[in-house]
Amino acid sequence: MKKVEIFTDGACKGNPGPGGWAALLRMGQHEKELSGGEADTTNNRMEMTAVIKGLSALIEPCKVDVYSDSKYVIDGITKWVDGWKRKGWITASKKPVRNAELWHELIDVAGRHDIEWHWVKGHNGHPENERVDQLASDEADRVAREETAAE
C-alpha cells in the first residue's frame, strides 16, 4: 500500500455562513492541494468536507495518516460513530446526529483505506496545518465576496 499524509482544515465566516475547506495530500516528495467552498455552511461541515475530499482524491487503497485540528472530526470518527450507528444515528441526548449525511460519506471513503487519525492543535505553528488553514480561509473569503457581488 502506498503511504499518504493528508492535512485538512475548514473555515467559516460566521457559523453558519460562507465557508471553505482545504486538504493537502503528500506522498513522498509529491504534494497536491485541494480546496473549495460553500455559501451557507458551518465550520464542522467544512472540516468534514476537507477530510472527505482528501480521502476521495486517492485512486487506490492507501495507508493514510490524516491530520486535522477538528476534535469534532477526530472524536466523531474514532469514538462516537460506532455508538451513533448502534443507536440509529441518534445522539445521547436523543436528537438526530448533525451532519449525518457527511458522516455516512466519511465512513464510506475512509473504509477504503488503512487510516491513522491525528489531532493537531490549530494555530500553533504546525506548518501543514497553517497552510491548509490559509487555503480554507481564502476559500471562505472568496465565497463571501461572490455572495456580496451577487446581491
Pick the closest to residue 133 from 67, 60, 58 (CA basis).
67
Which residue in the list 5, 9, 38, 139 is annotated as catalytic?
Answer: 9
Based on the residue annotation, tell me whether 14 is a catalytic residue of this protein: no
Based on the residue annotation, tell me whether 10 is a catalytic residue of this protein: yes
Q: Reduced to 3 states, what is the DSSP secondary structure of residue 123?
A: coil
Based on the residue annotation, tell me whether 133 is a catalytic residue of this protein: yes
Based on the residue annotation, tell me whether 69 is a catalytic residue of this protein: yes
- Residue with C-alpha cell 475512509? 110
Which residue in the list 69, 76, 113, 139 is annotated as catalytic?
Answer: 69
CB distance 129 to 70 below 8 Å = no
Which residue in the list 5, 38, 133, 139 is annotated as catalytic?
Answer: 133
Separation in Å, CA 94 to CA 60, 84, 89, 97 = 38, 11, 9, 9
Which residue in the list 10, 17, 19, 37 is annotated as catalytic?
Answer: 10
The whole-angstrom separation of Cα 137 and Cα 2 is: 30
Based on the residue annotation, tell me whether 123 is a catalytic residue of this protein: yes
**Which residues have a catalytic role annotated?**
9-10, 47, 69, 123, 133
